[in-house]
Chains A and B, each alone.
Chain A
Amino acid sequence: MARKIRVLIAKPGLDGHDRGAKVVARALRDAGMEVIYTGLHQSPEMIVQTAMQEDVDAIGLSSLSGAHDVLFPRVMELVHKNKMKVLVTAGGIIPEEDVPTLKKCGIAAVFGPGTPIEDIVKFHKERLKAKH
């Protein structure tokens, strides 16, 4: 049987907007991936624990509340601490000037508003191809 790509879509922090996260989740599902959605209001610890238990290939972090600059690096810190090999991307309302900091802590890509959904799917397929 073919290796199935598993992706965790996560909503860290108190942000209550998950329309975008759900749209991305659906698109990845339609591309044949298994998508686990955490639901709202997750702590970085919960997200990393979930990613570990679910043995996902990728984590998509979504935030629209402005707390990304604290929460996303904390997720990355835990990912590294647990020596997890996982592709982490970010999406939501993230100002241009914050992108370099996020990338520096290991986030592979930041998908802002207006990103074509196919780009997100393509990115995951290409970056995770080595596993297949």
Chain B
Amino acid sequence: MNYSTLAKGTLKGDRKAAARLISVVEDEEEGYREAMKIVFCGTRGAGVLGITGAPGVGKSTLVFEIAKSFRKAGKSVGIVAVDPTSPLTGGAILGDRIRMTDLSADPGVFIRSMGSRGGTGGLSLQTSNVIRILDALGCDEIIVETVGAGQTQVDIMGMADTVVVVTMPGTGDEVQSIKAGLLEIADLYLVNKMDLPGAMNTASDLKSMLDLVDDWKGWKPPVLLASASTGRGLDQMLEFIGRHRAWISQPERFLERRSRQARKEIYDLVTMEVHRMIESKFPSVKLDAIVRDVVQGKLSPYEAAEKVAAFAIR
């Protein structure tokens, strides 16, 4: 299929075309790569803000508040909300919009819900493509909301300029915050639901974890408190998001971050391409034989992998 019409429509600001194209990309329909090439050339460099954290900490409410403030500043906003897909049925309930209903009829806002659909590398690729489509559509600011769990999260956040990790009181002791691996990805920590008991403790736990790192290379993530539903602390958070944006926008820093992201994406795409080549071109009879050899102990999985890989890069 040729989806270049959808891509061109997106560049002209056609929201329906953009919505359709996102589905095409999500479904990885034949020909989506060609369309994405057109989209890539039409991106305008929107700001990308990532919001992550465990379920129920208040991410969607925060996204809603941040989006409203962007709107007040006259900027158009794209929101990508990723919810988990069931690994058993492949289905998903995407409910982030419930917290953002006031924005659904706003012509300056485009909200898209996505299921995580299993794949790790693939997932992040699709998400970055969706960000690009919204960028090309003309969104000035894009907010990506994802459930923070495990390593995949780090992947997704590799696409954002600023990452806010949201937590709340009572989610475990300080060891949890090292375990989750969140220390490496946040530019800003937010302890939401600050009116609940223990908020100060959660904040000071986080701060003492951050103190263990010596070299922050110029930006030490602040730990902020807020209550998204009442609005307390939100101005401060927005101010820090703005400060981080200014910091990251300095040319050499910006280049470094974007280069790292581009490098990762290229690697991911190559991995995908190799997968595709093996799946479509490697003779299944031959693969069956190799599998049999491994099962019978004639061949080690390492040798088998080398054989298959050698075919792919030939």
Contact = CB atoms under 8 A, between A and B. Distances in A.
Interface string B11-30: 00001100110110011110
B110 A2 contact: no
Contacts of A43: 105
A35 B105 contact: no
Interface residues of B, number: 31
B248 interface: no
Q: Is the interface of A mostly helix, strand, loop or mixed?
A: mixed
A50 to B, nearest CB: 5
Interface string A37-62: 11101110110011011110000000
Contacts of B93: 25-26, 29, 35, 37
Q: Is the interface of B mostly helix, strand, loop or mixed?
A: mixed
A33 interface: yes
Contacts of B170: none
B91 A1 contact: no
Interface stretch (B51-59, B94-102, B205-213, B232-240): B94-102
Interface in B64-117: 85-86, 89-95, 97-99, 101, 104-105, 110-113, 115, 117
B148 to A, nearest CB: 21
Given A1-B27, A29-B86, A50-B97, A34 B115 contact: yes
A49 B104 contact: yes
Contacts of A42: 101, 104
Contact of A53 (B19, B26, B27): B19
A35 B104 contact: no
Interface string B121-132: 000000000000
Contacts of A26: 93
A32 B91 contact: yes
A19 to B, nearest CB: 15
A73 B296 CA distance: 66
Given A3-B29, A53-B104, 15 more contacts: A1-B117, A4-B90, A31-B91, A34-B91, A35-B91, A36-B95, A37-B97, A39-B97, A46-B104, A54-B19, A54-B111, A54-B112, A54-B113, A55-B23, A84-B16
